[in-house]
Amino acid sequence: MKFFSDVFHLLGRQWRLTSRMPVFLVMSIVQPIVWMLLFSQLFSKAMAAGFGEGYVQFLAPGIAIMSSLFGSGYAGMGLLNDIDRGVMDRMLATPVTRIAIILARVIHTGATAMIQSSVILIVALFLGARPKSALGFLTVLAAAALLGAGMGGISHCMAILTRKQEAMFAVMNFTMLPMIYLSSTIMNKGLMPNWIKNVSTYNPVDWAVTVARSGFEGKVWTQTVGEHALALIAFTAVFSFLSTQAFKRYRAAM
C-alpha cells in the first residue's frame, strides 16, 4: 500500500536528516546524562531516606522519560522548517499520501525518544542502576516511545497552529517543565504534597514514568502498569490523530 511505503520513505528522510546533525545527536544524549549525574549528586543526601535502593535506581527511568519529553516537545520545528522553505509544498505537489507526511514525523519522534532512553538506561547501568528484568528494560523504552510520539503530536499541532517557531517554543517551554515537576519523574509520590499528587494523576508524563519505573523494578504485569499504559496509549493516539487533523486544516487554508 502506498501509505506504508510513503511512511517508510519519509521516515528514511527523517533518519537521514537526524543522523547528519551530529551535534544534535550528541547533545540529546549528553544532556540527560548530565541531568542524571546532577540530580543524583544534588539530592543524594536529601534522598537518602525514602528511596529504597538509592536515588539513581529511582531516577534512571524518570530521566529516560524526561529526555523523551524534552526531545519530542520541539519536534514540530522540523515541520515548520519544511513549510517555510517550501519543502512541504514540493511534497504536497506529489501524490504522496497526505497523512504519511505527518505520521512519519510522529513515529520518528517516538522512535528517537526510544533510542535516547535506551542509551540513558545503559549509562545508568554504569552509575549503579539495575533493571529487574529484560522485559522491564523494554517497558521503559516503550513508555518513552509512546510519550515521545504523543508529545510529538502536540508539538506538531502547536507548530501548525502558531506557524511560528518562537511561538511554538514558548508554548512548549511553558508546558514541559511543569509536566516534569507535577509528576513522579524526580520525586517519590510518597514525598509529594497532596495537591501535586492529585494533579499528577492527570499528567501523561506521570503515566509514562509510572509505567517505566514499575517496569524497571520488574513489576510489569500489574494493574498500575496496565491502567497507566492504557492512558498513555490513548494520549498518544489522540494527539497523533489531532496532528493529522491540524495538518488537514493547514492544507485546506492554502
Chain residues binding another protein by CB under 8 A are 2, 5-6, 9, 12-13, 16-17, 20-21, 85-87, 89-96, 252-254
Q: For another protein, give the closer residue by CB, 189 or 251.
A: 251
Report in angstroms how near the CB of residue 95 gets to another protein at its nearest: 5
CB-CB contact of 172 with 73 (8 Å): yes
Report in angstroms how near the CB of residue 77 gets to another protein at its nearest: 14
Q: For another protein, give the closer residue by CB, 95 or 193.
A: 95
CA 92, 95, 98, 101 torsion-angle sign: negative
Report in angstroms how near the CB of residue 88 gets to another protein at its nearest: 9
CA nearest neighbour of 57 among 206, 232, 180, 218: 218
Report in angstroms how near the CB of residue 175 gets to another protein at its nearest: 28
Cell representation of residue 247: 495538518
Burial of 253 (0-12, 13-18, 19+ CB in 10 A): exposed
CA nearest neighbour of 216 among 119, 147, 139, 142: 139
Q: Please report where in the chains the cell 543526601 appears, as a residue.
A: 45
Q: For another protein, give the closer residue by CB, 51 or 250.
A: 250
Q: For another protein, give the closer residue by CB, 93 or 134.
A: 93
Q: DSSP class of residue 220?
A: -
Report in angstroms how near the CB of residue 158 gets to another protein at its nearest: 21
Q: For another protein, give the closer residue by CB, 53 or 89.
A: 89
Long-range contact pairs involving 225-228 (C-beta distance under 8 Å, separation at least 24): 225/139
